[in-house]
């Protein structure tokens, strides 16, 4: 399929572009013989002015190719050797790989940053995925926020470089959700951070549809009965309401009569007493006194009734409130009874019962995932805050003008925050299980201490554009997935410097193998702590001594000041901001057991490589392999061992 397009491309300039179709032999032990294969086609002599630039295009999607990413890594290793016709050529690669193998070379998440990925970071000047089929399953584990930040950065980069992708080759961001719908007897769960719609959520939606289908089916069958019961409950509620109103009016009438009669009796007694006294003094004014007496009597009645009505209103409000509560309760009881009846009806159906259980489990799984992600992201953000405080503290300690009180304050905040982080981690691990470490480390590697994804240690975040979308109909066999990965190496001299390959070594091949063996060990043991690796590389040396050998580790390893804290003096400060004195490193307490090897930047790993190759434990490949926990034997080593 691709050979046709390559032939069309070669027709543009037959002298400079030659295409050879080669079916390579692949063995599970020896892999592909890259040296022999390329020596066959690379010309012995190159015309003057023609660049020695070789582009290897390979399709490694066939199932016969086991570990296709390692086949690519083998070519990288061969390109570092100073033998063969292409030893001084710039060897670029454009390879079609199975999707999981492409992830091993250019991972999106820390979980896949292992042997081949670290080798690619050290080897490549630039490396990116040109095109790929749908890769949602590898996008989702990184988390919504990091994917969004990375995509925004790439969009900005594309705009600056005026890169426009064909519309048919672009993909939308996977769907996300922030709330899990309510279950039969559970409230909705609102996630703190959005999540991608992955397999657990899709399964939940499927189970939810099945469950609601059964409920709707039952309602269609028994809906008339249910509605009749509800209508009866509502009618009964109206009757209860009327009864309450009648009772309220009866209470009002009785209360009013009682109060008014009492007031009138009291008024009559007082007025009669007053009337007798007035009549005795002036019998002729009887009519006037009667009028005044009636006036005061009526006035007293009005005043008393006003107060009684105010009290009555409070009582009426209290009765109404009680009635509303009783009405709601009666409806709730009726509906709950109907719901229980419905459950009894369809719970006898085995399929319906199984669907209900599956739905509850699926929803519980999604809620658990959302809670785990919330806990992990909270811890990840706290980890970034800790790294930022460490950086700030180091600058303050290095500055002689910073007061000792301020340094102690910053160190105290750092110690307390780390203690809080440890406590929350131990509690969250029960809830977040395996999801927690990967997501926390993803944030650590992508955002660092600055919180800016521009400083990401993953090559994926530095891609020039989003991968072009390969449609399913363009891939054979149907349903398979693949990715096209481009890789361009650093210049050979720069690679020798990065991998600490000594050209004066008696056996150059052995120097290459030693370097690749150490880098490979970093990848194989990527999930181990930095403390474990330092014990293997520099046995018996303290972390502070190793940091002096490899200053790049200072910014990577968790740390805090040793107690008691001393103030920096002009004699102990650095001559420049980037070169602190050796004694400066002794003032910190390092915690390399709190960070894994895969979280270190490639520059720090290569500095570790250089420092290790200068130790007495790195005099031969066999010695290097054994000291790092390998099991190589003379029989398994390559030809240069037998030449010794």
Burial of 12 (0-12, 13-18, 19+ CB in 10 A): exposed
Residue 421 lies in a domain: no
Residue of higher predicted confidence among 635 and 543: 543
For range 544-561, the mean pLDDT: 93
DSSP-assigned letters across all residues of 119-135: HHHHHEEEEEEEEES--
Indicate if 107 and 202 belong to the same structural domain. no
**pLDDT at residue 423 above 80?**
yes
Neighbouring CB atoms inside 10 A of 337's CB total: 12
- Provide the 3-class DSSP secondary structure of residue 537: helix
Q: How many domains does the chain have?
A: 2
- pLDDT at res. 238: 61
* Rounded-to-5 percentages of helix, strand, coil across the chain: 60, 10, 30
Those residues with Cβ within 8 angstroms of residue 264's Cβ, 6 or more apart along the chain or in another chain: 297, 301
Flag the least confident range among 240-254, 439-453, 508-522, 581-595. Answer: 240-254
Question: CA 459 to CA 444: how far, in whole Å?
Answer: 15
Q: Among residues 524, 541, 556, which one ends one of the domains?
A: 524
Average pLDDT, integer, range 120-149: 91
pLDDT over 90 at 105, yes or no = yes
pLDDT for residue 575: 46
Among all chains, which residue has been given the structure tokens 């009783």?
Answer: 326
- Which residues, other chains included, contact 257 with Cβ-Cβ below 8 Å and sequence gap of 6+? none
Using the predicted structure, report yes or no on whether residue 331 has a pLDDT greater than 60: no
Label the pairing between strands 468-469 and 124-132.
Answer: parallel
**What integer pLDDT is reported at residue 567 of this predicted model?**
66
The residue behind tokens 């009138």 is 264
**With 80 as the cut, is the pLDDT of residue 30 above it?**
no
What number of other Cβ atoms are within 10 A of residue 222's Cβ? 16
Query: Do 145 and 198 sit in the same domain of this protein?
Result: no
Whether 8 shows a pLDDT value over 90: the answer reads no
Q: Is residue 418 part of a domain?
A: no
Asked if residue 78 belongs to a domain, the reply is: yes
Please state the rounded mean pLDDT for residues 42-50: 78
Q: Which of 133-137, 300-304, 405-409 has the highest mean pLDDT?
A: 405-409
In this structure, the chain runs to a length of 644
Cis peptide before 564 (omega within 30 of 0): yes
Q: Is the pLDDT assigned to residue 230 strictly greater than 70?
A: no
Angle at 116 between CA 113 and CA 119, to 5 degrees: 95
Tokens linked to 644: 């010794």
SS3 category, 275: helix
Cα 574 from chain centre:
39
Residues 365 and 491 in one domain: no
Q: How far is CA 34 from CA 63, 105, 452, in A?
A: 19, 19, 41
Q: Is residue 475 part of a domain?
A: yes
| CA 259 to centroid of chain Cα atoms | 72
- Domain end among 468, 490, 524: 524
Q: Are residues 333 and 188 in the same domain?
A: yes
355 and 463 part of one domain: no
Residues 6+ apart with CB under 8 A from 599: 110, 441, 444, 445, 457, 556
CA-CA distances (angstroms) from residue 429 to 368, 383, 396, 422? 12, 15, 34, 11
For the cut 80, the answer to whether the pLDDT of residue 364 exceeds it is yes
**pLDDT, tens digit (0-9, with 9 covering 90-100), for 493-531:** 888 888 888 765 667 777 888 888 888 888 888 899 999
Q: Does the structure show a pLDDT above 60 at 384?
A: yes
**pLDDT at residue number 227:** 65
DSSP structural state of residue 598: G
- 558-604 pLDDT tens trace: 999 988 877 665 555 444 445 566 678 999 999 999 999 999 999 99
Distance in angstroms (rounded) separating the CA atoms of residues 204 and 183: 11
Bigger pLDDT: 305 vs 602: 602
Span 548-553, mean pLDDT? Answer: 93
Mean pLDDT across the chain: 77
Quick check: 156 pLDDT over 90? yes
* DSSP strand pairing (90-98 vs 53-59): parallel
**Same domain for 204 and 147:** no
Helix axes 530-537, 602-613, angle to 10 degrees: 20
User: What's the CA gap between 234 and 319, in Å, rounded?
Assistant: 20
Residues 222 and 253 in one domain: yes
Residues 260 and 367 in one domain: yes
Whether the predicted pLDDT of 190 surpasses 50: yes
Distance (Å) of CA 226 to CA 218, 342, 416: 10, 9, 60
* DSSP string of 319-379, one letter each residue: HHHHHHHHHHHHHHHHHHHHHHHHHHHHHTSHHHHHHHHHHHHHHHHHHHHHHHHHHHHHH
Integer Cα distance of 339 and 327 in angstroms:
18
What is the DSSP code (8-state) at residue 84?
A: S
Q: What is the structure's pLDDT at 643?
A: 38
Report yes or no: 112 and 493 within 8 Å, Cβ to Cβ: no
Boundary-marking domain end, from 465, 496, 524: 524
Residue 40: predicted pLDDT: 79
pLDDT at 259: 54
Lowest mean pLDDT among 30-44, 202-216, 251-265, 549-563: 251-265
Say if residue 21 is in the same domain as residue 155.
Answer: yes
Query: 251 falls in which pLDDT band (50, 70, 90)?
Result: low
Q: For residues 557 and 580, what is the distance between their CA atoms, to the nearest angstrom?
A: 16
| Domain assignment of residue 357, yes or no | yes
Q: Which residues pair with 56 in a beta bridge?
A: 93
- Residue 564's pLDDT is 81
CATH number of the domain encompassing residue 25: 3.40.50
Neighbouring CB atoms inside 10 A of 628's CB total 20
286 in a domain, yes or no?
yes
58: confidence class by pLDDT, cuts 50, 70, 90: confident
Question: Does residue 614 sit in helix, strand or coil?
Answer: coil
Q: Is the predicted pLDDT of residue 126 greater than 80, yes or no?
A: yes
Which pLDDT score, from 0 to 100, does residue 38 have? 78
H/E element holding 519? helix 508-524
Residue 531 lies in a domain: no
Note whether 119 and 237 are same-domain residues. Answer: no
Q: What is the pLDDT of residue 644?
A: 34
Residue 642: per-residue pLDDT: 36
pLDDT greater at residue 613 or residue 8? 613
Domain extent for 473:
2-167+455-524
Beta-bridge mates of residue 180: 189
From the list 407, 390, 394, the residue with the least C-alpha distance to 450 is 390
Ranked by mean pLDDT, the top range of 201-205, 220-224, 264-268, 633-637 is 201-205
Range with lowest mean pLDDT among 314-328, 450-464, 588-602, 622-636: 314-328
Tell me the two tokens of residue 34. Answer: 């890259």
* 269, 223: one domain: yes
Per-residue pLDDT band for 609 (boundaries 50, 70, 90) equals very high
Q: How many CA atoms lie within 13 A of 288 on its CB side?
A: 6
User: What is the predicted pLDDT for the residue at 13?
Assistant: 72
Query: Residue 552 domain-assigned?
Result: no
pLDDT at 312 over 60: no
pLDDT above 70 as % of the chain: 67
| Cα–Cα nearest to 461, from 142, 114, 101, 195 | 142
Based on the number of CB atoms within 10 Å of its own CB, is 111 exposed (0-12), middle (13-18) or buried (19 or more)?
A: buried
Q: Is residue 157 domain-shared with residue 274, that is, in the same domain?
A: no
Neighbour-count burial of 457, counting CB atoms closer than 10 A to its CB (0-12 exposed, 13-18 middle, 19+ buried): buried
Which one has a higher pLDDT value, 8 or 269? 8
What is the reported pLDDT for 577? 47
| DSSP E strand boundaries for 360-516 | 468-469, 482-489
């Amino acid at each position: 399929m691709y050979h046709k397009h390559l032939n069309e491309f070669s027709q543009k300039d037959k002298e400079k572009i030659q295409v050879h179709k080669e079916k390579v032999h692949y063995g599970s032990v020896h892999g592909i013989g890259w040296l022999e294969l390329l020596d066959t086609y690379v010309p012995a002599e190159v015309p003057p002015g023609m660049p020695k630039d070789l582009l290897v295009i390979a399709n490694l999607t066939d199932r016969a190719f086991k570990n296709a990413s390692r086949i690519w890594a083998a070519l990288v290793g061969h390109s570092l050797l100073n033998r063969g016709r292409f030893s001084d050529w710039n060897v670029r690669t454009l390879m079609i790989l199975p999707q999981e193998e492409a992830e091993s070379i250019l991972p999106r998440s820390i979980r896949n940053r292992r042997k081949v990925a670290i080798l690619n970071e050290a080897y490549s000047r630039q490396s990116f995925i040109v095109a790929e089929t749908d890769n949602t399953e590898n996008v989702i584990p990184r988390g919504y926020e990091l994917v969004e930040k990375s995509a925004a950065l790439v969009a900005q980069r594309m705009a600056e470089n005026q890169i426009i992708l064909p519309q048919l080759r672009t993909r939308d961001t996977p769907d996300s959700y922030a709330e899990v719908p309510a279950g039969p007897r559970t409230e909705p769960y609102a996630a703190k951070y959005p999540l991608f719609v992955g397999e657990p959520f899709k399964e939940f939606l499927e189970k939810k549809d099945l469950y609601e289908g059964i409920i709707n089916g039952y309602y269609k069958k028994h809906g008339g009965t249910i509605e009749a019961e509800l209508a009866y409950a509502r009618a009964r509620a109206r009757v209860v309401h009327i009864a309450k109103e009648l009772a309220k009016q009866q209470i009002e009438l009785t209360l009013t009569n009682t109060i008014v009669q009492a007031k009138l009796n009291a008024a009559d007694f007082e007025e009669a007493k007053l009337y007798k006294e007035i009549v005795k003094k002036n019998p002729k004014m009887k009519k006037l006194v009667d009028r005044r007496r009636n006036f005061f009597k009526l006035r007293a009645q009005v005043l008393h009734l006003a107060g009684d009505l105010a009290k009555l209103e409070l009582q009426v409000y209290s009765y109404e409130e009680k009635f509303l509560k009783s009405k709601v309760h009666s409806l709730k009881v009726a509906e709950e009874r109907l719901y229980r009846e419905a459950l009894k009806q369809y719970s006898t159906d085995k399929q319906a019962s199984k669907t209900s259980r599956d739905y509850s489990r699926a929803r519980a799984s999604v809620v658990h995932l959302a809670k785990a992600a919330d806990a992990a992201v909270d811890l990840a953000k706290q980890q970034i805050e800790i790294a930022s405080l460490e950086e700030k503290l180091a600058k303050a300690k290095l500055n002689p003008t910073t007061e000792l009180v301020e340094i102690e304050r910053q160190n105290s905040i750092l110690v307390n925050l780390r203690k809080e982080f440890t406590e929350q981690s131990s509690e969250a691990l029960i809830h977040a299980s395996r999801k927690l470490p990967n997501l926390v480390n993803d944030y650590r590697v992508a955002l660092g201490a600055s919180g800016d994804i521009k400083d990401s240690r993953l090559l994926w975040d530095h891609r020039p554009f989003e991968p072009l979308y390969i449609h399913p109909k363009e891939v054979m066999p149907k349903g398979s997935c693949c990715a096209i990965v481009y890789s361009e190496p650093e210049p050979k001299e720069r690679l020798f410097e990065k991998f600490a390959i000594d050209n004066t070594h008696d056996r150059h091949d052995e120097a290459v193998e030693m370097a690749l063996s150490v880098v490979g060990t970093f990848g194989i043991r990527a999930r181990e702590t930095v403390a474990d690796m330092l014990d293997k590389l520099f046995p018996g040396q303290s972390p502070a001594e190793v940091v002096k050998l490899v200053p790049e580790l200072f910014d990577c390893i968790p740390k805090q000041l040793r107690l008691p804290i001393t103030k920096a003096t002009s004699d102990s400060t650095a001559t420049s901001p980037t070169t602190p004195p050796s004694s400066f490193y002794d003032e910190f307490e390092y915690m390399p057991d709190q960070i894994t090897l895969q979280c270190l930047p490639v520059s720090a790993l290569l500095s570790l490589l250089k420092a290790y190759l200068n130790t007495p434990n790195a005099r031969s490949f066999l010695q290097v392999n054994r000291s790092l926990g390998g099991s190589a034997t003379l029989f398994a080593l390559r030809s240069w061992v037998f030449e010794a």
